Structure 1
């Protein structure tokens, strides 16, 4: 496998291996790519959830983000934490393997 060098290549890899996340209306969710030193973090972007009065609500629990290695193109899932935390978890996984 050829390692990715652009966000578009990263998205091609992710779309070929994982189901595409959907919005509540069934349309595909936007996928955002965050590049960092040893990989690319890919996460789905969902609109904010609000209650009937329009107040923001917490996101539902669960889910994951995907990291694509810059070196190998391999993919790994990490918990759906904020970007920096997810990247730190990936680094920790790579150091222990």
Structure 2
């Protein structure tokens, strides 16, 4: 993949994100896995964190905050969106894209 060229595969989208953003870490300091959801105009890239549990093994809510990153298939530009569920994050990207054109 040439520098600054748009991605053509999910792996290329992940490479772009890794080159431009800090690698998210798990609580033990190891790198978090990055997942990709391809859609018609981009790739949604996000870190996967294992569910948190307390000392008795009860599930705990995810910490607030965080973001997902959309990589444009057309330009290779990246945009952060809130850490919403996948379809909501993609819908927000589309809405913001429409408002900026």
Whole-Å Cα distance in 2 between the matches of residues 84 and 58 of structure 1?
20
The TM-score with structure 2 as length reference comes to 0.94
Q: 5+ unaligned residues in a row in structure 2: which ranges?
A: none
Of 35, 47, 72, the residue aligned with 2:75 is 72
Number of the residue aligned with 1:83: 86
1:22 equivalenced with 2:28 (yes/no): no
1:7 is aligned to 10
Residue of structure 2 in register with 1:35 after alignment: 38
**TM-score (normalizing by structure 1):** 0.97
For these two proteins, the number of residue pairs brought into alignment is: 97
Q: Which runs of 4+ in 1 moved over 4 A?
A: none
